[in-house]
Amino acid sequence: MKPIQPHERKVVNIRDESAYTPTGDGEEGTSYIQLNPHAEKFVGFYIYRMSPGSHSMPHVHPGAEEFLVMEGELTDNDGTTYRTGDVVYLAGGTEHNSVSEKGCIVAVYSEAKEHAPETDDSKEQ
């Protein structure tokens, strides 16, 4: 077996502030770590962090989303709260957004790129 080459491995720590990239896209207080340089943003595996009081933008997952709450808790728009240690599956087509009063770190696997929900205006166009 040949050794893993430096360009074939990337290691960061979730406690290293510099490892995170601000999410952008209108979200304040959220950031992520996505190590695979070939993956589309928020597709495949990534770490998602929400600062206390932050929220995600409303979005739809065309494919399934699975996540593990590693620290803290977050609450979805329907009032369901996920706590440290919860493992969650959301089916493809699920539409939601989340808030985190105290902050959280979540390990996520997403099958497909999320997008903004359709509105009545966008359906007419």
pLDDT of residue 123 exceeding 60, the answer is no
The domain tally of the chain equals: 1
Burial label, 71 (beta-carbon count in 10 A; 0-12, 13-18, 19+): middle
Q: Is residue 120 part of a domain?
A: no
- pLDDT tens, 32-91? 999 999 999 999 999 999 999 999 999 998 999 999 999 999 999 999 999 999 999 999
Work out the number of other CB atoms within 10 angstroms of the CB of residue 104.
24
Which is higher by pLDDT, 122 or 16?
Answer: 16
Q: Is residue 50 part of a domain?
A: yes
The residue to which tokens 């919860």 are assigned: 86
Note the pLDDT of residue 122: 42
Q: With contact defined as beta carbons under 8 Å apart, do 91 and 119 qualify?
A: no
Q: Is residue 62 part of a domain?
A: yes
Q: Is residue 94 part of a domain?
A: yes
Q: Is residue 68 part of a domain?
A: yes
Residue type, 116: A
CATH of the domain at 48: 2.60.120.10
Domain assignment of residue 46, given as a range:
30-115
Q: Is residue 42 part of a domain?
A: yes
